A = this chain, B = another copy of it.
Amino acid sequence: MANGDQHRSKCCFLEWMKLQERDLSELLQALTLTPQNDAELTKLAQKGVEHFESYISQRSTLSKNDVAAFFSPAWCTAWENSLLWIAGCRPSAYIRLIYALSGADVELRLADFLRGGAASGGDNLGGLSTGQVRAVDELQRRTIREEDRLTTRVAGLQEDVADEPITAIVKGVEQIGELSGEIERALDEHEKAMAVALEDADKLRLNTVKEIFGILTPVQGVDFLAMSKKLHLCVHEWGKKRDQRHGRENC
């Protein structure tokens, strides 16, 4: 039932957002406990990765039927869509988030210290060690390189529309928009290549998160995961409010 493609993709996203909300509560809860249990925190981070993996695997299946829907999803808000890079967030944004959080933590600790309080512990993201900063920097460089490679691939696919075989078909078309087996095949081929690009972008997003967990301590990892989920949920909700302001309906 072709009609169901869009509906299924939307449900997949909405379920993912609900799951992120539940996971966020659990993560924030775990961060308040003292003393913190590294094994428990590692398990939570691992669960986060598994949930992401399962979401990505569902997207991969769904996008094979209707990849275009994922590039400007009707189930997201206009603001969210203006932030998209190959149907999702930029993997390098995860790293920007680590830098932002560690900077914010350093500022908080400094303020504590200047107020005469004891500087709080170095467990959260402000406490990145020199080795960690170096590893994050290296990951950032590698991630941006991979991002650029995929950006170039998708740019090529987008330009292909102005090239053979599509141009030759357009040249021969008598009636604007008339469809033939030839054009259907060309568009199917194009969508297939876009679906592969989306899958590779998702893999890069997942691998970046996995590598981040390899660098951070368990508590830092959970702190990062919680903030990335909180940011995503906030962007979605803020986008909804801005859509309402412009008279757009939300999912």
Is A15 an interface residue, CB under 8 A from the partner? no
Is A230 an interface residue, CB under 8 A from the partner? yes
Shortest C-beta distance, A73 to chain B (Å), equals: 8
B103 touches A246 (CB 8 A): no
Number of interface residues of A (CB under 8 A): 76
DSSP majority for the A interface?
A: helix
Is A204 an interface residue, CB under 8 A from the partner? no
Given A170-B227, A247-B7; A78-B82 close (CB under 8 Å): no
Is A39 an interface residue, CB under 8 A from the partner? no
A83 touches B163 (CB 8 A): no
Given A69-B78, A246-B69; A159-B241 close (CB under 8 Å): no
Which of the listed residues A90, A173, A177, A245 has the most CB atoms from chain B within 10 Å of its own CB? A177
Given A68-B82, A164-B103, A238-B187; A6-B158 close (CB under 8 Å): no
17 further A-B pairs in the complex, CB-CB below 8 A; given A92-B159, A93-B162, A147-B155: A2-B246, A3-B247, A5-B246, A66-B78, A68-B77, A72-B84, A83-B161, A96-B163, A97-B162, A99-B163, A100-B162, A100-B168, A101-B167, A171-B227, A177-B234, A177-B240, A187-B238
